[in-house]
Amino acid sequence: MGEGKFTLNEIAGAIDFVRGLNAARGGLLACPVSRLQVQYRLGYRRACELAGRLEELDVWEIVVTPSGLRGARIK
């Protein structure tokens, strides 16, 4: 995943990754941006862009818990 816009294949791969995490864990996924960073070897800004794109596509919803932890509710 290089600079610029994400390709359809990159987005499809990220969707599969997220759905796999949901199947394994269910519920709220902790530290979703960090997981994208590690899985795809992205910097923070790029991982945030991908997380936002996944939210736009209604794959997940980024939430903040009462304790301040960011998580993702996978749809």
Residue 45 maps to a domain: yes
What's the CATH number where 29 sits? 1.10.10
**pLDDT at 75 (0 to 100):** 87
Is the four-CA dihedral 41, 13, 20, 64 of positive or negative sign?
positive
Residue 66 maps to a domain: yes
Cα–Cα distance measured from residue 5 to residue 28, given in angstroms and rounded to the nearest whole number: 27
Residue 1 maps to a domain: no
Query: Model-level pTM?
Result: 0.84
Domain housing 59:
8-74
Residue 40 maps to a domain: yes
Q: Digits of tens for pLDDT over the chain (75 positions)?
A: 666 789 999 999 999 999 888 766 667 888 999 999 999 999 999 999 999 999 999 999 999 988 898 899 998
Rounded to the nearest 10°, the torsion over CA 14, 17, 21, 23 is 110
